[in-house]
Amino acid sequence: MNFFDRLADRIATVDSVVSVGLDPDPARIPDHLADRDLPRWAFNRRIIDATHEHAAAFKPNAAFYEDPDGWTALRETVAYAHGKDVPVLLDAKRADIGNTARQYAELLDDDGMGVDAITVNPYLGRDSLEPFLSRADKGVIVLCRTSNPGGADLQDLELESGEPLYERVAAMADLWNGNDNVGLVVGATAPEELEEVREIVPDIPFLVPGVGAQGGDAEAAVEYGLADGVGLVNSSRGIIFAGEDQGENFDDAAGQAAKRLKKRLNRYR
């Protein structure tokens, strides 16, 4: 079964398209977890326990784990999420020349991180993504129109054909989708672009970040982010730090925040 089939099953099981972003910023982890061996893992475990029943997927961002303890925390996190039957999408935005990309793609292996899907950067072109695309069982989520304010700087540049670069990326991703394992990242902070990309690729699921802390458009995220009901709308800080001021009970608020987002998104499904 490929990633999007597994994701479709999970969405149906929990009636949710929420992706819970696991970005355990060490500066924001509750004090009482700070003296644990692996504070990020201790934090994530509590967040997973509190939110998994509302989570279509967990999305750890690699930036929060890129040190020796971090990799261990990430491996524990992935295994624990899988134990709850939740797919894990690693937001790593990887790509490089083929020889190097092959090493990056080992993150997908069980003796790497064993994640179900990964975000990749299309800037280096098709061959840089081939080691990911060829993994028919794994999701490959290509950056298309990102949610940050500077996302327009390059991605909106107009090509000779008159189309903006992000539209060309969407069209190319469609060509790269021979294994039905390609998705696109399109931010909720760019609702018009979301609509335009959806017109270009009616069948490709999106990962839509930017609701919550970035203030993106939740309705557009659902309306255009889902392809045949499949896609993910991510919130990270808005869920995992919802209980930041509640000390040891921080996870209750995270669970409530995930449930609230699920309900809000479900109004538009």
Question: Which of 54, 73, 91, 205 forms a contact with ligand LLZGTKA7 (CB under 6 A)?
Answer: 91
The tokens describing 251, both together, are: 């996870």
Catalytic residue among 59, 93, 138, 262: 93
Least Å distance, CB 101 to ligand LLZGTKA7, is: 19
Closer to ligand LLZGTKA7 at the Cβ: 128 or 146?
A: 146
Phi–psi pair at 96, nearest 5 degrees: -170, 180
Q: Residue 161's closest CA among 200, 133, 189?
A: 200
Please tell me whether residue 234 binds ligand LLZGTKA7 under the rule CB under 6 A: yes
The tokens describing 130, both together, are: 């081939």
Pick the stretch among 31-39, 96-104, 159-167, 212-220 that binds ligand LLZGTKA7 (CB under 6 A): 212-220
Assign 33 to helix, strand or coil. Answer: helix
What's the maximum distance between 2 C-alpha atoms anywhere in the chain? 57
Least Å distance, CB 236 to ligand LLZGTKA7, is: 3
H or E, element range at 250: helix 250-266
Please tell me whether residue 77 binds ligand LLZGTKA7 under the rule CB under 6 A: no
Q: Residue 266's closest CA among 14, 3, 16?
A: 16
Binding residues for ligand LLZGTKA7 (CB under 6 A) = 21, 23, 61, 91, 146-147, 185, 187, 209-210, 212-214, 234-238
